[in-house]
Amino acid sequence: MAIRLEIGSGNNPQPGYWHCDRYLDHRTRGHVDFIADAQRLPLADASCDALLLFGVVEHFGIIEIQAAFLEIARVLVPGGRVRFDVPDFDWFVDVYRTGIDPVTNRPVDPVRDERWIMHAFFGGQDGPGQFHRWGWSERRMRDFLMKPNWGFSDVQLIGRQWRDPESNHLVFECVK
Largest CA distance in the chain: 50
Note the pLDDT tens digit of each residue in 152-172.
999 999 999 867 778 999 999
Q: Is 120 a domain residue? A: no
Q: For the chain, how many structural domains are there in total?
A: 1
Rg (alpha carbons) of the chain, rounded to whole number: 16
Q: Is 118 a domain residue? A: no
Q: Is 100 a domain residue? A: no
Q: What is the pLDDT of residue 8?
A: 92
Residue 116 DSSP symbol:
H
Note the pLDDT tens digit of each residue in 53-105.
999 999 999 999 999 999 999 999 999 999 999 999 999 999 999 999 999 99
Q: What is the pLDDT of residue 11?
A: 79
Query: In this model, does residue 28 exceed pLDDT 90?
Result: no
Contacts of 87 (CB under 8 A, 6+ apart): 58, 120, 121, 132, 135, 136, 168, 169, 170
Closest CA relative to residue 122, chosen from 109, 131, 111, 112: 131
Q: What is the pLDDT of residue 79?
A: 97
Q: What is the pLDDT of residue 63?
A: 95
Note the pLDDT tens digit of each residue in 10-27.
878 899 999 999 887 767
Q: Is 65 a domain residue? A: yes
Q: What is the pLDDT of residue 148?
A: 94
Bridge partner list, 21: 35
Angle ∠(105,144,5) on CA atoms, nearest 5: 95
Q: Residue 151: enclosing H or E segment and its boundaries?
A: none
CA 44 centroid distance within chain: 22
Q: Is 33 a domain residue? A: yes
Q: Which of the four pLDDT bands, split at 50, 70 and 90, describes residue 40?
A: very high
> What is the C-alpha separation between 145 and 163, in angstroms, rounded?
23
What CATH number has the domain bearing residue 38? 3.40.50.150
Q: What is the pLDDT of residue 26?
A: 67
Note the pLDDT tens digit of each residue in 101-146.
999 999 999 999 999 999 999 999 988 888 999 999 999 999 999 9
The alpha carbon torsion through 123, 125, 130, 132 (nearest 10 deg) reads: 40
Domain containing 8: what range? 3-87+128-175
Alpha helices (runs of H) in 6-163, residue ranges in sequence order? 62-75, 89-98, 114-122, 138-145
